[in-house]
Amino acid sequence: MNVGRSPERVDCIFVFAGRFERKVYGLDLYQQGYAKRIVFSVGRFEWRRFPELGLDQDGGLAGLVEKTAPRKRHFFVDREEAETRCFLIRKGLLGTLSEGAALSRFITYFLKFGL
């Protein structure tokens, strides 16, 4: 986010894990039509507040949480139009670096297989 400029239309909005307000702001931009796709990075404990976003589905987030050990919980929730999917991502020692690496793999996979 660049606070000195108005948002621009993009292919995808990516919301890093952390403050819940990031997810609210990203979702607001998505709902205003700034992108057709949004990917939320959801950290170890953040899944608990995810339903507060009011999406009609979580893409399987709740189910993945139940199957995943707490220390390994980090997910991407990918929403495009009416379809939502959730993916477990590899968690490294450095959170933002792990997210960036996982995002790179996600984009590569998306381009290759056309998710």
Residue type, 36: K
Q: Give domain limits for the chain.
A: 13-113
The predicted model scores a pTM of 0.84
pLDDT profile of the chain (115 residues), mean per 10: 78 91 96 95 91 93 93 91 88 71 75 63
pLDDT of residue 53: 96
What number of helices (H) and strands (E) belong to the chain?
3, 4
Q: What is the DSSP string of 33-50?
A: TS-SEEEEEE-TTGGGTG
Q: Beta-carbon neighbour count of residue 51 at 10 Å? A: 11
Contacts of 59 (CB under 8 A, 6+ apart): 77, 78, 79, 84, 85, 86
